[in-house]
């Protein structure tokens, strides 16, 4: 029994040693294959072709009124009547009554002024009669020379006439003050703020309300300096006020409740660069935003933030590529004779999806649009397919073929991998 326990371990060791010796004497033979000549990297390319490229600049701003007025009374008194519509957000037509101030004091002033005017007229009539009597007396005495001014009572007549004019002016002022007790809308307007109510005593410095005109609203939009050469701005000069100027179309997008698009135009270019943003601002105008044509839409609110798309120029023979093909904002890859070739490029204009190339590419180049990692020039590649250049896809309904609408934000940077 003891002998069997000793023999078994020895036998296992012998077998393991024999197996190891056999493995060491018979190593595996690896068959070397010839290197593959076909490229291991497959990329998609796009053939560069010049095209007409319509540029649209993106911007943003806030809705502001064309005209905004603080309504102040020109007379003092107690408010005795207010229109049922006189509240924040209400509309008023030009000349429509907003509120009334107690007119009784001013009615009394009108009556007093009329009495003063009647008295002045009566005194003037008396002076005229006395002047005629004095002239007759002068002639009755046999005087052939003209009567002196004092005899003809000319100073007294002038004073009487001045009194009549003064009384007439006082009556006009009294009537005007009485008219001013009724506050009317100076133009077709909307109430921005209401500050008073019935029974309140107001003076000439009391703010009654803030109104703004509703014939159109404006949006102040910033533009980057490098984008200015791609838009025709409405620039005016001192002696060219009557000359027609360009007014680019602009689409204002509001997302206050739901997405709404408003059509407008750029009507003004400001005369100075903004101190804080160092950008040039233009003013876009939306006509009649609260009229019948806008019925059923979400009305624009003063102070509301909106985005804008300003129609720019059309660049002829532009080389347009997608942003995903640009690396670090400075170079691209193209396929030349089956290998990758890095090419530095300069970007003339760029938005969130495409870029217009100034230098570095030529018509007919095969641009690599497949995202690449760490690759070097000279790497063999296989072209999987060729895509159409941006803007040469099938035109959407309402879009001119060959002139895609592209956008650029006013503060966008360069995109790339």
What is the full DSSP assignment across 272-319?
EE-TTT--EEEEEEEE-TTSGGGTTS----TT-EEEEEEEEEEEEEEE
Within this chain, do residues 96 and 195 fall inside the same structural domain, yes or no? yes
Within this chain, do residues 268 and 327 fall inside the same structural domain, yes or no? no
Provide the pLDDT for residue 291: 87
**Does any domain span residue 135?**
yes
Domain range for 93 is: 67-102+182-214
Within this chain, do residues 173 and 112 fall inside the same structural domain, yes or no? yes
Within this chain, do residues 306 and 323 fall inside the same structural domain, yes or no? no
- By percentage, how much of the chain surpasses pLDDT 90? 58
Within this chain, do residues 146 and 244 fall inside the same structural domain, yes or no? no
**Does any domain span residue 274?**
yes
| Contact between 112 and 104 (Cβ < 8 Å) | no
Retrieve residue 138's tokens.
């002068």
CA 157 to chain centroid, in Å, comes to 65
**Does any domain span residue 6?**
no
Q: Tell me the CATH number at 73.
A: 2.40.50.100
**Model confidence at 197, in pLDDT bands (50, 70, 90)?**
very high
**Does any domain span residue 156?**
yes
Beta bridge partners of 127: none
**Does any domain span residue 33?**
no
Region 275-282: mean pLDDT is: 92
> Shortest CA distance to 61 belongs to which of 193, 191, 223, 215?
223
Within this chain, do residues 303 and 328 fall inside the same structural domain, yes or no? no
**Does any domain span residue 2?**
no
Region 201-222: mean pLDDT is: 94
Q: Using the predicted structure, report yes or no on whether residue 289 has a pLDDT greater than 70.
A: yes
**Model confidence at 139, in pLDDT bands (50, 70, 90)?**
confident
Q: Which of 289, 313, 337 is the last residue of a domain?
A: 313
Q: Using the predicted structure, report yes or no on whether residue 362 has a pLDDT greater than 70.
A: yes
Q: Model pTM greater than 0.75?
A: no
Within this chain, do residues 324 and 199 fall inside the same structural domain, yes or no? no
**Does any domain span residue 9?**
no
C-alpha–C-alpha distance, residues 417 and 253, integer Å: 30
Q: Which of 313, 338, 356 is the last residue of a domain?
A: 313
Provide the pLDDT for residue 364: 92
Within this chain, do residues 342 and 377 fall inside the same structural domain, yes or no? yes
Structural domain count of the chain: 4
Region 65-71: mean pLDDT is: 93
Region 311-321: mean pLDDT is: 93
Within this chain, do residues 353 and 400 fall inside the same structural domain, yes or no? yes
Within this chain, do residues 97 and 200 fall inside the same structural domain, yes or no? yes
Within this chain, do residues 247 and 309 fall inside the same structural domain, yes or no? yes
pLDDT digits (tens, 9 = 90+) for 15-42: 777 777 767 776 666 556 655 555 568 8
**Does any domain span residue 239?**
yes
Within this chain, do residues 195 and 142 fall inside the same structural domain, yes or no? no
Q: Which of 281, 296, 313 is the last residue of a domain?
A: 313
């Amino acid at each position: 029994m003891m002998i069997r326990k000793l023999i078994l371990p020895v036998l296992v060791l012998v077998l393991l040693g024999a197996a190891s010796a056999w493995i060491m004497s018979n190593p595996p033979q690896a068959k070397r294959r010839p290197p593959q000549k076909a490229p291991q990297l497959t990329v998609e390319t796009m053939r560069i072709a010049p095209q007409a490229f319509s540029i649209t600049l993106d911007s943003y701003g806030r809705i502001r009124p064309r005209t905004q007025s603080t309504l102040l009374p020109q007379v003092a008194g107690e408010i005795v009547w207010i229109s049922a519509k006189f509240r924040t957000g209400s509309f008023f037509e030009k000349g429509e009554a907003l509120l009334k101030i107690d007119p009784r004091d001013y009615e009394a002033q009108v009556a007093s002024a009329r009495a003063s005017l009647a008295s002045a007229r009566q005194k003037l009539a008396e002076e005229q009669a006395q002047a005629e009597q004095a002239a007759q007396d002068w002639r009755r005495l046999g005087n052939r020379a003209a009567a002196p001014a004092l005899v003809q009572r000319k100073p007294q007549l002038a004073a009487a006439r001045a009194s009549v004019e003064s009384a007439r002016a006082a009556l006009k002022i009294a009537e005007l003050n009485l008219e001013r007790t009724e506050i009317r809308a100076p133009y077709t307007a909307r109430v921005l703020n209401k500050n008073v109510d019935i029974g309140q005593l107001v003076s000439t410095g009391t703010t009654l309300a803030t109104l703004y005109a509703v014939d159109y609203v404006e949006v102040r939009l910033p533009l980057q300096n490098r984008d200015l050469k791609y838009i025709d701005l409405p620039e005016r000069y001192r002696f060219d006020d009557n000359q027609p100027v360009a007014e680019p179309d602009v689409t204002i997008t509001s997302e206050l409740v739901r997405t709404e698009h408003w059509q407008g135009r750029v009507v003004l270019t400001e005369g100075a660069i903004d101190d804080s943003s160092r950008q040039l601002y233009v003013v876009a105008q939306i006509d009649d935003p609260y009229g019948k044509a806008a019925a059923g839409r979400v009305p624009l609110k003063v102070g509301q933030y909106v985005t804008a798309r300003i129609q720019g120029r059309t660049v002829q023979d532009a080389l347009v590529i997608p942003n995903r093909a640009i690396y670090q904002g400075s170079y691209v890859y193209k396929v030349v004779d089956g290998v990758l070739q890095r090419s530095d490029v300069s970007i003339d204009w760029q938005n969130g999806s495409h870029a217009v190339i100034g230098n570095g590419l030529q018509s007919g180049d095969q641009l690599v649009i497949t995202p690449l990692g760490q690759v070097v020039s000279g790497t063999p590649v296989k072209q999987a397919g060729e895509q159409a250049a941006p803007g040469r896809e099938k035109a959407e309904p309402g879009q001119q073929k060959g002139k895609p609408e592209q956008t650029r934000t006013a503060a966008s940077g360069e995109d790339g991998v």
